[in-house]
Amino acid sequence: MDRAAALMGALAARGGPRLPAVEWPEELASTSDRLKALARAGAPEWTTVLADRQTGGRGREGRAWASPPGGLYLSVLLRPRFEKVGLLPLAAGVAVAEAAGELGVRVELKWPNDVLVSGRKLAGILSEAASGPGGVEWVVLGIGVNLAVDPATLPPDLAGSATSLRAAGGADVPVAELAAAVIHRLGMGYDALAKDPGGVVSAWRARAAPWWGAMVEVRTGEGGLRGRLLEVDDDGALVVEVEGRRRRLLSGEVTRLRPAAAG
């Protein structure tokens, strides 16, 4: 049985979701780029693309995502019909956290959906969407999880800040099993978003790195700002107090400032 069939079988055994099609070549430039092409051509939701390695893996904020063999590189197509589509990236973070938990690794989430172990990055999620006259037409969730890549073999700027499930003491499982766990948990979060979006935000908050009240810097496409981290609100926005005023942010990269730098 090939790996795509094994993944579909593992999901059927877990009770879904049912994947209409799975592509899993050894190498792609980017699983999300491939899936976006399929989405534009009308592929149904839960169409899934994986690769053993990526040559042009992309991260958030225009960064590259190092993708050597030994990681999970997964993209899933969704065509949401519920209102709170903006919560999907948070639901995906919760799904990865729950899948890591199945392997015995406890993680923390950093807004919007970085997955950390002891402050080191284990996984990242890239959410890309296209809208039409009727609203959001599709969302491609790209999920990268470092399963067994030795962080020391990653580019020097990542070596000190990355970790893997293996390095964190997680159970050693094949990539297909981790993929099944992530997709299964994502399916549960996706259903919950239609019925109980507040529950998804609560699940995210319960796993959030406890930075509330700390001074942070948030870099966005328009520049950066510094302020006190207040909360993640019910729509998944980050709320920061800047010079006495609440600012809501929908995207950006958060860094905690050390007391001396916080000023």
Nearest to 179 by CA among 91, 37, 52: 52
Question: From the CB of 241, what's the least distance to ligand BTN, in Å?
Answer: 26
Cβ proximity to ligand BTN: between 132 and 221 the closer is: 221
Q: Which of 89, 124, 187, 189 binds ligand BTN (CB under 6 A)?
A: 124
Q: Which residues sit opposite 181 in a β-bridge?
A: none
Q: Site for ligand BTN (CB under 6 A): how many residues?
A: 20
| Separation between Cα atoms, residue 225 and residue 26, nearest integer Å | 41
Two tokens, residue 146: 């470092």
Nearest to 87 by CA among 215, 228, 191, 220: 191
Query: What track of x and - describes contact with ligand BTN for positions 33 through 72 (by CB under 6 A)?
Result: ---------------------x--xxxx--x-x-------
Two tokens, residue 41: 């051509």
Question: From the CB of 245, what's the least distance to ligand BTN, in Å?
Answer: 29
At position 145, the amino acid (one-letter code) is V
Contact between 204 and ligand BTN by CB under 6 A: the answer reads no
Question: From the CB of 228, what's the least distance to ligand BTN, in Å?
Answer: 24
Give CA 17 to chain center in angstroms. 18
Q: Which of 30, 47, 163, 164 binds ligand BTN (CB under 6 A)?
A: 30
Contact 256, 225 (CB under 8 A): no
The C-alpha torsion from 206 through 211 and 213 to 216, rounded to 10°, is -140
For residue 190, the tally of other CB atoms under 10 A from its CB is 23
Cβ proximity to ligand BTN: between 31 and 189 the closer is: 31
Contact 58, 91 (CB under 8 A): no
Identify which range of 98-106, 139-147, 151-159, 226-234 contacts ligand BTN by CB under 6 A. 139-147
Contact between 144 and ligand BTN by CB under 6 A: the answer reads yes
Cβ proximity to ligand BTN: between 57 and 227 the closer is: 57
Q: Which of 32, 48, 146, 164 binds ligand BTN (CB under 6 A)?
A: 32
Q: Enumerate binding residues for ligand BTN (CB under 6 A).
A: 30-32, 54, 57-60, 63, 65, 73-75, 114, 124-126, 142-144
